[in-house]
Amino acid sequence: MEPLNALVSVTNFMLIPAFAYGSQLALGALGITLIFSILRFAHFAHGDTMALGTAAVIGGTFFLQAQGIGLGGLPTALLAIPFGILVMVLYLLAADKLVYKYFRQVKAKPLTLVMASLGVMFVTNGITRLFMGVGETRFEDGQRFLFTVREFREFTGLAEGMALRSAQAITIITALIVMVVLFWFLTRTRAGKSMRAYSDNEDLALLSGINPERVVMITWTITAILLVLAGTLYGLDKGFRPFNYFQLLLPMFAAAILGGLGSPIGAIVGAYVVAFAEMGITFAWRRVFSYLMPEGLEPTSMMQLLPVDYKFAVTFAILVIVLLFRPTGIFKGKVL
């Protein structure tokens, strides 16, 4: 029985990756939930816009690297993020002006807007692939580990090692900062309050002189910031492949629905639930249990509930359970 080793093992292989993944999902799901509460449609282009934003950051990173500008130990991509955000703000505002604005003005059904977002998804997807191709691009540089398995072992003297990759640490820290800032913005600033008012009751907000187009513009801007951050952090952590970003759509939506569509805090909680469930159920627990069980009783199988290929099944199962038992989500989102 070596519970300490078990704890280290589960932290290293499951808790840290799940926490990082959950943070990335949370930033994405926040964008989905914001668009849903202000513009009132399910934004299907989210995954692909995230990919395009990351592509812009990668472009910036490569440019900076070629100039020999870097951040020392930190990834150069962090310097390129403002550029990516700028590109995506312009892109999303252009998409809004060219596509969504018209449907808003004619008061089209929500599903027409969803359809339009499919069109934007195709275009974005095409643009991303024109620049990046379909293969994997790695753009993580700087110091890869905050501490490695060996350093940890030497420091603690445990048999089981633990490593913390800088990408994971950056992800978690950035996500926490962004969430705090976002909540401060939504609850304390005039623009944030007008957003919440508009989301609560559109007519009343219009009557009190809130300019809807301004609210929409702010929403897209915040979404762009969240998108670029989520995409870049995901890319730093796992490498950039456009298709993976498309596939993030399902867990992000699951997170937003689970937390309650339209509720920012719900999106965050939902994202972590999805991430931990996905990782926990597809994780091979054998190693952990071999430390926990008394000698002679170590498990012989992998102790893996589902193969990793089925991580979508986990997301889906969570989604189904929520839909069946609590369609409004954990934090009572909007149900139309």
Q: For residue 3, state whether it binds other proteins (rule: CB under 8 A).
A: no
Q: CB under 8 A: which stretch of 12-20, 195-203, 241-249, 283-291 binds other proteins?
A: 241-249
Residue 24 parent element (H or E)? helix 16-39
Classify strands 145-147 and 164-165 as parallel, antiparallel or unpaired.
antiparallel
| Two structure tokens written together for 152 | 């940890």
Distance CA 223, CA 88 (A): 9
Q: Whose Cβ is closer to other proteins: residue 83's or residue 103's?
A: 103
Shortest CB 226 distance to other proteins, Å: 19
- Which residue's CB is nearer to other proteins, number 102 or number 155? 102
- Tell me the backbone φ, ψ of residue 249, rounded to 5 degrees: -50, -45
**Which range in 148-156, 174-182, 184-192, 303-311 contacts other proteins by CB under 8 A?**
303-311
DSSP-based three-state secondary structure for 74 = strand
Count of other CB atoms within 10 angstroms of residue 235: 30
Which residue in the block uniquely carries the two structure tokens 């202000």?
A: 38
Segment lying near other proteins (by CB under 8 A), choices 16-24, 59-67, 97-105, 268-276 = 97-105
Q: On the CB side of 92, how many CA atoms lie within 13 Å of its CA?
A: 28
How many residues touch other proteins under the rule CB under 8 A: the total is 49
With CB under 8 A as the contact rule, the residue among 71, 94, 118, 159 that binds other proteins is 118
Using CB under 8 A, which of the segments 59-67, 160-168, 176-184, 305-313 binds other proteins?
Answer: 305-313
Q: Measured between alpha carbons, how far is residue 172 from residues 163, 169, 232, 336 in Å?
A: 15, 5, 13, 34
Q: Site for other proteins (CB under 8 A): which residue of 177, 200, 323, 326?
A: 323
Hey, what are 87's tokens? 């590109």
Per CB under 8 A, which of residues 170..189 are in contact with other proteins? none
CB nearer to other proteins: give 69 or 308: 308
Candidate list 30, 80, 116, 274; residue touching other proteins; CB under 8 A: 116
Residue nearer to other proteins on the CB measure, 159 or 302: 302
Q: Is there a contact between 80 and 64 (Cβ–Cβ < 8 Å)?
A: yes
At 147, give phi and psi (nearest 5°).
-145, 145
Question: Which of the residues 14 through 43 are near other proteins (CB under 8 A)?
Answer: 41-42
CA atoms of 33 and 230, how far apart (whole Å): 14
Contact string (CB under 8 A) for other proteins, positions 119-138, x = contact: xxxxxxxxx-xxx-x-----
79, 81, 84, 85 alpha-carbon torsion, rounded to 10°: -130
CA 113 to the chain's CA centroid: 22
- The nearest distance, CB 242 to other proteins, in angstroms, is 9
Task: Give the nearest distance from C-beta 121 to other proteins in angstroms.
Answer: 7
By CB under 8 A, residue 320 contacts other proteins? yes
Closest contact distance (angstroms) between CB of 311 and other proteins is 8
Judge whether 271 and 255 are in contact, CB under 8 Å. Answer: yes
Binding residues for other proteins, rule: CB under 8 A, are: 41-42, 44, 98-99, 102-103, 110-112, 114-116, 118-127, 129-131, 133, 246-247, 249-250, 253-254, 257, 305, 307, 309-310, 312-313, 315-316, 319-320, 323-324, 327, 335-336
